[in-house]
Structures are given as structure tokens and as C-alpha cells.
Amino acid sequence: MLEKAIFAAGCFWGVEDAFMSLPGVVSTRVGYIGGSMENPTYQDVCNHGTGHAETLEITFDPLQISYQKLLNVFWECHDPTQLNRQGPDVGDQYRSAIFFLSPAQKNIAEESLERLDLSGRLRRRIVTEIVPATIFWEAEVYHQKYHAKNGCGCGF
């Protein structure tokens, strides 16, 4: 049975790049979650009035890739110590967040964050939110697989 994972780690184009080709990842789609506005647009989210984060929803086969392995990629594909930014992208829509879909995902995410925080690998404390998933609003078609369709200028 397939499962889903939802992560926010900066601009969703680069985050999607980090996950879409992993063995066991069946599909990805970018969108918005964590805010108050229904059916937000990219422009709405960029205007900072919705509370939504740019997000990646991953559908995966847990027999091929575990949620923990997805979390490992999540921690590596961005800087979880930066509050409301990733690189040149600044704003609450670029925050680092794990939106859990079950108590098991919540526990695995919290343990993973604690292990990384205590490992000493990072210079600052992790600011990643671990919060329950709400409605995932799919982003506009032109954002889906953006780098695959338009070339990647992100360095991934």
C-alpha cells in the first residue's frame, strides 16, 4: 500500500528535484499547506497573507523506501536551521516543516530531528516545524516538475 509524505524545505522546485527520482518514490506534486486560505495561488502565497508553505507531497512505496530514508533526504536537501528562508529565498512560505499524516510519522520525524540536533553536525539549532498535515493545495500546473520541464538553475 502506498503512503504519502509532506515536506516544506524552501522553494518547492528544488525540493521536488531532491525526491522525484528516488527509488520507491512513485510520484511527487508541489503545492501549499499550513495556512488559512482555501485554494491559494502562488501569488497569494508569495504575498505572505496565507500562512502556507511551499510544499512537496510525495507518494512512496514503503516496501522500497522508508519514511526515515525520506527524512534523511529532507534533512540533507536544505538548511533546517534557517528560519523562514532558504538561501536567497526569504519569507514564511520557505520555512522548514514536516507535515505528518499519522502518529507514526510524527514519532519518526521527532526522533529524526532529535538525532540530528544532538549529532553536532549543525552549527545552530534546528527550527523545523513538525505539525499535523492539513489540506494540501496543489500548485499551478506550470510549477509541477518545473526544473525537469525548464532546466535546472538551482545547482542540484
Give the chain's domain count.
1
Does residue 57 fall inside a structural domain?
Answer: yes
Residue 152 has a pLDDT of: 64
| 99-141 pLDDT tens trace | 999 999 999 999 999 999 999 999 999 999 999 999 999 999 8
Residues facing residue 33 across a β-bridge: 53
Does residue 38 fall inside a structural domain?
Answer: yes
Q: CA 46 to CA 51: how far, in whole Å?
A: 10
DSSP, collapsed to helix, strand or coil, labels residue 133 as coil
Between 153 and 42, name the one with better pLDDT: 42
User: Whole domain around residue 119: which residue ranges?
Assistant: 3-150
Q: At residue 153, does pLDDT exceed 70?
A: no
Active site residue: 11, 46, 77, 152, which one? 11
9, 21, 32, 69, 103 from 92: Cα distances, Å: 11, 27, 12, 26, 25
Does residue 111 fall inside a structural domain?
Answer: yes
φ and ψ of 64, to 5 deg? -110, -30
Does residue 130 fall inside a structural domain?
Answer: yes
Question: Catalytic annotation on 46?
Answer: no
Does residue 155 fall inside a structural domain?
Answer: no
Does residue 122 fall inside a structural domain?
Answer: yes
Q: What is the CATH number of the domain that holds 37?
A: 3.30.1060.10
DSSP, collapsed to helix, strand or coil, labels residue 55 as strand
Does residue 156 fall inside a structural domain?
Answer: no
